[in-house]
Structure 1
Amino acid sequence: MAESAVSLVVDKLLPLLTQEVKLLKGVHDELVGVKDELEVIRAFLKDADSKAGKEGIGEGVKVLVNQIREEAHHIEDVIDDYMLHVARHPDNRHGLLRHIASLIKTFSSRHEIASEIKDIKSSLLDIKNRSQTFHFISSNQGASSSNSNAGRGLMDHPRLSSLFIEEAELVGIESPRDELISYLLSGVSQRTVIAVVGMGGVGKTTVAKKVYDNHRVKEHFQYHAWITVSQSYDKRELLRSILKRFYEVKNGLFPDRIVTMEEEELIKEIREYLGQERYLVVFDDVWEIGFWGNMEHALLDHDNGSRILATTRNEDVANFSRGSSLVHVYHIEPLPQKEAWELFCNKAFRSEFKGQCPKDLEELSQDIVRRCGGLPLAIVAVSGLLATKEKSILEWKKFLSGLGGSAMVSDPYIDSVTNILSLSYGDLPYHLKSCFLYFGMFPEDFSIVHGRIIRLWVAEGFVEEKPGMTLEDVGEEYFIELVRRNLVQVDEVFHGVPLTCHVHDMVRDVILSKSEELSFCHVSSSCSTFQGIARHLSISNRGSNTPKSSTKSQTRSIMVFDEVKLQKATIQVILAKFKLLTTLDFENCPIDHLPKELGNLLHLRYLNLRNTKVAKLPKSIRKLHNLESLDLRYSFVEELPVKISNFPKLRHLLAEDKKTRALKIKGSIKHLEFLQTLSKINVDDNVSLINDGLQVSTELKTLGIRNLKREHGRYLCTALEKMTHLRLLLVCSINPTNEVLELQSMSSPPLELRSIWLEGQLERLPNWISKIHNLAELRLSFTNLKDDSFEVLQALPNLNRLGLVCAYNGEKMHFEGGGFQKLKSLYLVGLSNLKEMLIDEGALPLLEKLQMGPCPKLKEVPSGFKYLRYLKDLSFTGMTNEFTQRLSQQESEKVRHVPIIQYDGTYDPSDEGSYEAWVERYFRRVGIKMT
């Protein structure tokens, strides 16, 4: 991560040093020297930073790495201070860099600036010289010194325990054990790689060992070997270990000549020794993606049912094998609460209470188990520790209060769990470390929106540019890699795209520990301390008041959570003190005002006011020329007070105020070359936005516009045909119940569209919708569709969600067999003419959720409900009395298989999340009374 900080500074220095105009005499030369020293140090950091948290690296190296990081941040602060001074003293007669030089000459502190840069260069020279005194092993050699194994016994304790744990102590292992045994003993004769994938501590090794030791498995394979790989391994040593295990199976004497064999000889020896026999080799704890490429030539495929079983935290390890082998990926998930509780009790109360939790300790014990998040390694470590303690409420409370804090770290058994999880952090490439640590900015158990975290990474400068890709696309790659490494857990997915995610509680403990060590971020419960906390500051009701880490460099990002109440004076202090902020996130914070000092944050790239009470932005926002992301959704902001062209670097403008549900913008967007998100924008008074701006916005991925007039529809269609990257489209007419959306004149729609929302009259369903085979979500409101349109919708091959709000005008709705093959959610609202609904067998085969009403003319309960075998949630509101009575009495057998059924009388309209409340709010907004 230190290398990442250095690289960022070098990238900032280059533009200053490659121009023809020099800075203040002496300053330019010193900056050249700084850049040169940084580039030399970067080579040292590639090895040092990756090894700083691992075994065999001394505290001196860790301190050195931290010093380099701090110095890099210091240089960045100096550069950005320069730019801040320049921006505050504009002069159009000169170029920016010429003006920098001019300004520096006039600053009263010009000698101090030059001196500061000299001091930085001197510090870097000293760091470089000291780094040369450390002779560490390069990353491709592995640890060989005796010191490299110091302390490993304790860290490996959980892994060793998992190899020798008794069967009677295991909980929740039966199903994965039996499934894996089945994969080994049956199936195709082709050699198959079975990858057991899961986060650290989830029980991969334990399950694999019980599979390996099973007598049926041992009898099935003529040769078998268990090989522990880990992060640093020697290929020749692994090959020798495989041979040694094979000799042991046959009780053969291991020849001395094998000890001195080279790699090629070992591969040949293994192949000859195996012959045509069937074998099983387990590779436990594989980290390197290309590992199988090192082993596959020794373990040939004789088409005899041989198997390779590998445990890994990284799914890409398995994917690498697909080129040469049949691969099956088996995911090990954390234990559910019931099984986690059983495991905890078996260990914590085995000796005194025969595995039963005393009643007075049950509530506290349940909290402790929940804190372990289903991670067997953590449960065993925690319960084992508690087994040695007094079984009293006071002792249990004391332990629970320290769980995840200093009390955890001080205990060797719990510390060993943290060390196991920390290995995953140490294995990350440097460009992912900052991204991973940034999850520590969010509170415990917080559901993190996928798009939000990526926009934050981009704004913080964590994402590196790649040819032909946007920064957001690269950030998406980063996100997926963290998921594949089982460091981030995805909660919601829509058509293959992650929506929300979180990190496991114990992984978050590792993040916070690393963040404290690196002064990366600090979680505080207030803004009482404004300086010297960390590079990134998270303010949360669940934070601590006293910072445990500090930094000389300035804080660059602030996020506020848990509805922390910030006084106006506090906000003013934040904006005044943190002058180099790049990100400011107030989402869900109950603030109602932003002062004019906002304009002082000239480096600000990310501003999030989502779901705040802010109604007006200060005009000083026009100074934020570096702004890349502005989120105003569900605030009260109705208008951007300055021209949108004031933000030439804008990438994302997200808006949907609580009154008009759209944002008025001034000026043209045609020069915003980086714009990817523009939603939701009021266009009724800004026709040029469509006729001019949108025609050149070809990079847009999300577009949402409201108050569209009929005569502007064809111009919009022309613009849409050029938006080849568009994923989400929302179009609302100026009067949804009367104004027609003229969207027919598009012959080549954006084929990457995943989601379409249309609100307004449609004389017929646009023909181009049938061409979008990737369409996963479609919401239509007030479109008054006929039967023929419904037939087109049924044929969409990948439609996952469909919402019709006063959108269908027919008397009969027929779901034909074979229709809506992938639909999982269906919303049918305000079907005022519907009298009959038919559902054929074979229609809606995957439907899980159906919500209906009001349907004032529908009296019969569709008999086809019985065919919807996967239906889990069925809700009705505003239905006729006849329909409700039949549903609850005579015809209940049609829906007997549905777990959740709700209809009139069971809703709470004050519950904003209920279906009925949503319908009432929607109708109220458009001026329709619910019948």
Structure 2
Amino acid sequence: MKPLNSEDSKRLFFKRVIRSKDGCPSQYEEVSAEILKKCGGLPLAIITIASLLACEQARIMQEWESIRNSLGTPFGTNPSLEGMRQIPNLSYKNLPLHLRTCLLYLAKYPEDSSIDRDDVVRQWIAEGFIRSSPGQDLEDVGKSYFNELINRGLIQPEQNNYGVVMGCRVHDMMLDLILSRCKEDNFISVAYSCEEYMLIAGQHGYNYNKVHRLSVQSMDSESDCTILMEGGIIPARLAHVRSVSLFGKHPRELPLLLPLFKYLRVLHITFYLLDQADLTAIRHLVQLRYLLFVSHCFKVELPSRICGLVHLETLEIVAYHAVSFPSDIVSLACLSHLRLPRGGLPNGIPKIKSLRTLEMFHPPDMDIKALAELTNLRKLSLFFDLEATMGTASNLNTLGSSIGKLQNLRYLEFTVPTVKFDDDGLLGSLSAFPCSIEILKLETWRFSRIPTWINADLCHLHLLELLVSETCTDEVGVVGELPSLIHLHLQVELKMKGTVVFGASGGSFPALESLILTCGGDVASQLGFQAGVMPKLQMLDVRFERCDSGIDTPPVGMEHLLSLQHIRVEINVELEDRKIYPRDTAEHVLREAAQAHPNKPAFNFYFFS
């Protein structure tokens, strides 16, 4: 990539430092010009230094001058590898100690990994890296650490389809720095095989206090565990490891390997290419606080008893099936996050009063009734087998009643194998919904209309996925009154009988930035946008399902969407109609409407059968 010219460099720099591309206060002009000169037009250098200066503690002249003085030869005129390494190194040196620790921890992940934010924050907590003041929540503080690393340009955000940051990746150059620092500070020992781990152990003179955290990133099932367990020296060393991450093939000797880690706090296992996994040995890890097992295996075996893991905070098993769950899991008083796959679940999960996250398949009937007792619950994801679990109206009413009592709930997701009519029996009949809710995903459960409890009282709701049989202008107007709603995916199953005009009956969607609207049939001409509606909308995604007659008129009033940057249109037809459907006419009509918009938004058109 060619270096940026002077004007583009300034624009990029000041947009990051002071959230403006127009310039900076006069007192910073000289020092900023010198900094930009040393960046040599290289975008990575400009963004990294700008991110560093954007922090609150860098808002004084001395900090700017210090950073300027720390930069050596201009990067653009001397783009050597060593010179480029100055960039992440400078950012690292200016980090507070607590953020350094959290950043170094990311060395445990293989190169180019997608790192889930919630998972890594929970590991930071289990390791004792997060400190909170009275009244602060540890997870919220941990997420603020994560966001600060993003804001400083040290990690690259990973976003979902709505643009919400759910995780991160580490740039190759930053990962090189992190690995180097981990080696210097003996923070994490990273090996790409257990043979390499043996070399690391030898470098430390087999002093068992030297290895605190171990990440083996390419385990081989045939040899690696055998190597670790041979002789008496390595097992003695493993006893003092606090964190273990294993990536690669499933070692058959895993049940023999796990008991060696007597003081283990964090166990993270990601395996592939196996039919079953034996995790019964975790019962020996009495200091364990965090366990994440990820695999596409079909059978996971857990110990018959787990009550000895009194410090366990997170238990996540991500797999297709589990053959057994310990019945005494309900006695784990510290358990905050529980994710369980398909399998025979023990009754009594709601007895775990400390739970904040619960993701489970096919909850037993008695647990549906007792969900209301989980008053600390923040995230609830339930995956239903409708015939087995939700077959009676009483169960529907019970679940609705339980949800209404979870007043700390922030995230709710229901997933069913086939679309289910609600008939106002599950959540449609609720008089009120937890006002704490922030994310609500109900796209596989079809309501007859938009439920009445979706209203302005849900003042924290920022993401809503909803499937309804039909709707009208008045109902979408009520959704438009949600003050914090940023992302909306509304699916209307049946073909509209009249028009739906957003903003015509009040409700301006004041915070909405992305709208996905899925409609039954070729109903573009029945959609409209009133002047003043959705003032912040950037992304409009309209999907027409089961189309048959064609589109010759675009939605009315798209020019009123003053912040619009991107329009995406998707048309789906039955296979037998593919050749006769007037695809070109539909694309021409919709593309012309996009080109007529004052912002000239990007336009993408897709046609499927």
Band the TM-score falls in, shorter-chain normalisation: 0.7 to 0.9
Equivalent residues of 2:381, 2:414 under 8 A apart: yes
Alpha-carbon distance change, 612 to 170 in structure 1, aligned in 2, over 3 angstroms: closer
**Structure 2 unpaired stretches of 5+:** 41-45, 202-210, 229-235, 385-389, 596-600
Aligned residue in 2 for 1:886: 585
Residue 885 of structure 1: how far off its partner (Å) = 4.1
Equivalent residues of 1:456, 1:606 under 8 A apart: yes
Alpha-carbon distance change, 678 to 830 in structure 1, aligned in 2, over 3 angstroms: same
Alpha-carbon distance change, 816 to 376 in structure 1, aligned in 2, over 3 angstroms: farther
Partner Cα separation in structure 1 for residue 12 and residue 263 of structure 2: 55
The one of 474, 477, 489 equivalent to 1:791 is: 477
Alignment pair present for 1:674 and 2:354: yes
Residue 645 of structure 1: how far off its partner (Å) = 0.6
2:520 alignment partner AA: L
Residue 568 of structure 1: how far off its partner (Å) = 1.8
Aligned residue in 1 for 2:205: none
Residue 382 of structure 1: how far off its partner (Å) = 4.0
Alpha-carbon distance change, 473 to 621 in structure 1, aligned in 2, over 3 angstroms: farther
The one of 173, 192, 206 equivalent to 2:35 is: 206
Output one character per residue of 1:552-582: Cα deviation in whole Å (capped at 9) or x when no partner: 8722222244xx223323x234324333332
Aligned residue for 1:594, secondary structure, equals strand
Partner Cα separation in structure 1 for residue 165 and residue 33 of structure 2: 25
Residue 459 of structure 1: how far off its partner (Å) = 1.9
Alpha-carbon distance change, 890 to 511 in structure 1, aligned in 2, over 3 angstroms: closer
Residue 451 of structure 1: how far off its partner (Å) = 1.2
Aligned residue for 1:175, secondary structure, equals helix
Alignment pair present for 1:859 and 2:550: yes
Alignment of 1:545-694 (within 5 A): 554-561=240-247, 564-569=248-253, 571-587=254-270, 589-595=272-278, 596-620=280-304, 622-623=306-307, 624-633=309-318, 635-637=320-322, 640-655=325-340, 657=341, 665-683=345-363, 685-687=364-366, 689-692=367-370, 694=371
Alpha-carbon distance change, 591 to 733 in structure 1, aligned in 2, over 3 angstroms: closer
Aligned residue in 2 for 1:171: 4
Equivalent residues of 1:787, 1:810 under 8 A apart: no
Equivalent residues of 1:811, 1:833 under 8 A apart: no
Partner Cα separation in structure 2 for residue 427 and residue 835 of structure 1: 53
Residue 801 of structure 1: how far off its partner (Å) = 2.9
Alpha-carbon distance change, 726 to 429 in structure 1, aligned in 2, over 3 angstroms: same
The one of 376, 397, 402 equivalent to 1:699 is: 376
Alpha-carbon distance change, 495 to 876 in structure 1, aligned in 2, over 3 angstroms: closer
Partner Cα separation in structure 2 for residue 681 and residue 476 of structure 1: 27
Equivalent residues of 1:724, 1:752 under 8 A apart: yes
Which structure's relative contact order is higher, taking Cα pairs within 8 Å and 6+ residues apart? Answer: 1
Partner Cα separation in structure 1 for residue 420 and residue 478 of structure 2: 23
Aligned residue for 1:863, secondary structure, equals coil
Alignment pair present for 1:316 and 2:2: no
Alignment of 1:42-441 (within 5 A): 171-177=4-10, 205-207=34-36, 313-317=52-56, 381-383=78-80, 414=82, 418=85, 421-441=88-108
Moved more, 571-580 or 696-705: 571-580
Alpha-carbon distance change, 196 to 674 in structure 1, aligned in 2, over 3 angstroms: farther
Taking structure 2 as the reference length, the TM-score comes to: 0.73
Output one character per residue of 1:146-170: Cα deviation in whole Å (capped at 9) or x when no partner: xxxxxxxxxxxxxxxxxxxxxxx96
Aligned residue for 1:665, secondary structure, equals coil
Output one character per residue of 1:115-174: Cα deviation in whole Å (capped at 9) or x when no partner: xxxxxxxxxxxxxxxxxxxxxxxxxxxxxxxxxxxxxxxxxxxxxxxxxxxxxx963432
Residue 455 of structure 1: how far off its partner (Å) = 1.3
2:569 alignment partner AA: L
Equivalent residues of 1:822, 1:844 under 8 A apart: yes
Aligned residue for 1:602, secondary structure, equals coil
**Structure 1 unpaired stretches of 5+:** 1-168, 198-202, 212-284, 286-309, 333-374, 384-407, 409-413, 906-931
Aligned residue in 1 for 2:527: 838
1:700 alignment partner AA: L
The one of 760, 781, 803 equivalent to 2:467 is: 781
Aligned residue in 1 for 2:123: 456
Aligned residue for 1:457, secondary structure, equals helix
Alpha-carbon distance change, 526 to 710 in structure 1, aligned in 2, over 3 angstroms: farther
Equivalent residues of 2:469, 2:494 under 8 A apart: yes
Partner Cα separation in structure 2 for residue 423 and residue 826 of structure 1: 40
2:7 alignment partner AA: E
Residue 449 of structure 1: how far off its partner (Å) = 1.8
Question: Greater helix percent: which structure?
Answer: 1
Partner Cα separation in structure 2 for residue 517 and residue 425 of structure 1: 14
Partner Cα separation in structure 2 for residue 767 and residue 681 of structure 1: 28
1:894 alignment partner AA: A
Residue 512 of structure 1: how far off its partner (Å) = 0.7
Partner Cα separation in structure 1 for residue 273 and residue 30 of structure 2: 46
Alpha-carbon distance change, 826 to 890 in structure 1, aligned in 2, over 3 angstroms: closer
Alignment coverage as a number of residue pairs: 539
Partner Cα separation in structure 2 for residue 735 and residue 711 of structure 1: 20
Residue 467 of structure 1: how far off its partner (Å) = 1.8
Partner Cα separation in structure 1 for residue 401 and residue 27 of structure 2: 51
Aligned residue in 2 for 1:34: none
Equivalent residues of 1:493, 1:499 under 8 A apart: yes
Output one character per residue of 1:189-237: Cα deviation in whole Å (capped at 9) or x when no partner: x97776999xxxxx985327899xxxxxxxxxxxxxxxxxxxxxxxxxx
Aligned residue for 1:852, secondary structure, equals strand
Aligned residue for 1:480, secondary structure, equals helix
Residue 511 of structure 1: how far off its partner (Å) = 1.1
Partner Cα separation in structure 1 for residue 30 and residue 406 of structure 2: 42
Equivalent residues of 1:616, 1:636 under 8 A apart: yes
Aligned residue in 1 for 2:489: 803
Question: Greater strand percent: which structure?
Answer: 2
Alpha-carbon distance change, 319 to 471 in structure 1, aligned in 2, over 3 angstroms: same
Output one character per residue of 1:494-539: Cα deviation in whole Å (capped at 9) or x when no partner: 9896312233322222211111112221322223466775322223
Alignment pair present for 1:876 and 2:571: yes
Aligned residue for 1:873, secondary structure, equals strand
1:752 alignment partner AA: S
**Identical counterparts, % of pairs:** 24
Aligned residue for 1:574, secondary structure, equals helix
Alpha-carbon distance change, 524 to 618 in structure 1, aligned in 2, over 3 angstroms: same
Residue 851 of structure 1: how far off its partner (Å) = 4.8
Residue 871 of structure 1: how far off its partner (Å) = 2.3
2:105 alignment partner AA: Y
Alpha-carbon distance change, 539 to 757 in structure 1, aligned in 2, over 3 angstroms: same
Equivalent residues of 2:419, 2:446 under 8 A apart: yes
Partner Cα separation in structure 2 for residue 453 and residue 173 of structure 1: 39
Output one character per residue of 1:782-810: Cα deviation in whole Å (capped at 9) or x when no partner: 65555643333344344333334464563
Partner Cα separation in structure 2 for residue 512 and residue 712 of structure 1: 52
Taking structure 1 as the reference length, the TM-score comes to: 0.50
2:369 alignment partner AA: N
Residue 678 of structure 1: how far off its partner (Å) = 0.9
Output one character per residue of 1:667-694: Cα deviation in whole Å (capped at 9) or x when no partner: 32444333111124423x332x2433x3
Equivalent residues of 1:440, 1:521 under 8 A apart: yes
Report the aligned-residue RMSD: 4.6
User: Which is greater in Rg?
Assistant: 1
